[in-house]
């Protein structure tokens, strides 16, 4: 699978852990962010995490968590930055830096910093 191409000015990618967005729910997902945060978002993909690792070994019964990946419009990032925390939404950079083993290499291409 390849990364989804981000629309122009949708630069900051976010991870909403343990969130599933079906194809039928994409428009209501984006509307939720508009209504709740006044932020424009582009849904990118549902990502299933890889298993955790300890000392290089796979930890059984881990991985497969559904994370919603989406991008926030550049003009809306500042007003979204703090309120997102109450929903557990993380910048992609923070998610990858804190748990690099559960994200495939291709996901790192979503990073902007």
Residue 80 and residue 68: Cα distance in Å, rounded?
16
Which of left, alpha, beta for 64 (phi over 0: left; psi -120 to 50: alpha)? left
Which of left, alpha, beta for 25 (phi over 0: left; psi -120 to 50: alpha)? alpha
- The per-residue pLDDT for range 17-44, each reduced to its tens digit, is 999 999 999 999 999 999 999 999 999 9
- The per-residue pLDDT for range 41-80, each reduced to its tens digit, is 999 999 999 877 777 777 777 778 899 999 999 999 999 9
Band (1; pLDDT cuts 50, 70, 90): confident
Give bridge partners of residue 12 from the DSSP assignment. Answer: 72
């Amino acid at each position: 699978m390849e990364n989804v191409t981000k629309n122009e000015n949708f630069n900051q990618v976010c991870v909403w852990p343990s969130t599933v967005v079906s194809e039928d729910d994409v428009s209501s997902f984006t509307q939720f962010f508009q209504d709740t945060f006044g932020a424009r978002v582009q849904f990118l993909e549902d990502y299933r995490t890889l298993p955790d690792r300890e000392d290089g070994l796979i930890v059984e019964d881990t991985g497969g968590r559904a994370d919603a990946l989406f991008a926030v419009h550049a003009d809306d990032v500042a007003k979204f930055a703090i309120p997102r925390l109450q929903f557990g939404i993380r910048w992609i950079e923070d998610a990858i830096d804190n748990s690099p083993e559960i994200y495939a290499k291709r996901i790192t291409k979503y990073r902007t910093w």
